[in-house]
Structure 1
Amino acid sequence: MLSKEVEDKIEAIIESVQCYLYDIAFLKENDMDILRISILAKDKNTTLDKCQEVSELISPLLDVYDPSSGKYTFEVSSPGIERTLRNPRNFRLSVGEEVQVRTQSKDEFTAVIKSADEEGVSFEINNKESYYPYSNLKKVKTIFRW
């Protein structure tokens, strides 16, 4: 797990190349530990070259502040077009996007994210704005329409 200090350093590096830190996740896939950092370009064009640039800038930092006692793979990626929103940062970086929402009470609807804070999110649903605390949301996923 990364310390707050290392997360702040990673975020500063990412910001220096005109991107936002979207997420940091430690995952296990096929018995392999993975440190995956997701970034979102400020111009909304998160390219493979941008991911490589961020990877090359963060890698030396991870050599100094090793986040794991064992072997792991380090990846930098975009969060993807359709993605599940998990935390306030994800919601803030998705303002203006269309989402599919499932609440804890099993209601489902499509909405646009109008704003988000540390406690919850405002959705525009059928031209009306409604605020939902994160604790009332079961799953929120962005929608990509062709």
Structure 2
Amino acid sequence: MKLSTKVAELTQIIEPAVTACDVSLWGIEFVPQGRKSLLRIYIEALPEDKADGKQVTIEDCATVTHQVGGVLDVHDPIAGEYMLEVSSPGLDRSFFSAEQLHDYIGQTVSVRLIHAIGQGSQKRRKLTGELVSIDNNTLVLNENNEAVSVMLDNIDKANLVYQFD
């Protein structure tokens, strides 16, 4: 779950602007698409506000869009045209750091790996299961009643799998 150099640079520029809008930065996706790139910013209610049941609103997204747009105009870190999107992470949220996963132990997550794990014909790059534990180097999923350990530096993408009650 390593950030690209470009996303790390954008995070340094964008995070203070997002925080100034009384929300927190959940993550950034930057997708270069030829002459027009896509910059998607995910915002979350501040932890103390989430405890009170506050959610991200459309007004929060509009405020962050305006604030971040101004900051990006000044710093100009993206060559060419780009489209800016701001939203909440949603029910099937992507995880951008291992620290974010700690709050989701006991829930179902899906991970896509950089390098396949397993033996022979059982090698796989996609896993889905209950997040059992996470430490500095490894996460453990319970997939079909089997504990599967995954090195954090082998995770390309991780998402929460929304479960209907």
Normalising by structure 1, report the TM-score. 0.69
- Provide the C-alpha distance between the structure 1 equivalents of 2:74 and 2:156, rounded to a whole number of angstroms: 38
Relative to structure 1, the CA distance from residue 2 to residue 131 in structure 2 (aligned partners, 3 Å threshold; closer, same or farther) is closer
- Provide the C-alpha distance between the structure 2 equivalents of 1:46 and 1:116, rounded to a whole number of angstroms: 29
Tell me the SS of whatever aligns to 2:79.
Answer: coil
Tell me the SS of whatever aligns to 1:93.
Answer: helix
Shift of 1:93: 2.3
Give the corresponding residue for 1:27: 31
- Provide the C-alpha distance between the structure 2 equivalents of 1:113 and 1:31, rounded to a whole number of angstroms: 43
- Provide the C-alpha distance between the structure 2 equivalents of 1:41 and 1:114, rounded to a whole number of angstroms: 25
- Provide the C-alpha distance between the structure 1 equivalents of 2:43 and 2:132, rounded to a whole number of angstroms: 19
Give the corresponding residue for 2:15: 11
Q: Which has the larger radius of gyration?
A: 2
Higher relative contact order, chain-length normalized (CA < 8 Å, sep 6+) = 2
Any unmatched runs of 5+ in structure 1? none
Q: Amino acid of the residue matched to residue 132 of structure 1?
A: V
Report matched runs for 1:101-112 at 5 Å.
Answer: 101=111, 104-105=116-117, 106=124, 108-112=127-131
Which segment drifts farther, 103-112 or 33-42? 103-112
Q: Amino acid of the residue matched to residue 70 of structure 2?
A: P
Bigger share in helix: 2
Q: How many residue pairs are counted as aligned between the two chains?
A: 141
User: Is 1:92 aligned with 2:99?
Assistant: yes
Q: Amino acid of the residue matched to residue 73 of structure 1?
A: M
Normalising by structure 2, report the TM-score. 0.63
User: Is 1:50 aligned with 2:57?
Assistant: no
User: Contact (CA 8 Å) 1:2, 1:67: kept in 2 or not?
Assistant: no
Aligned residues: percent identity?
A: 24
- Provide the C-alpha distance between the structure 1 equivalents of 2:69 and 2:139, rounded to a whole number of angstroms: 34
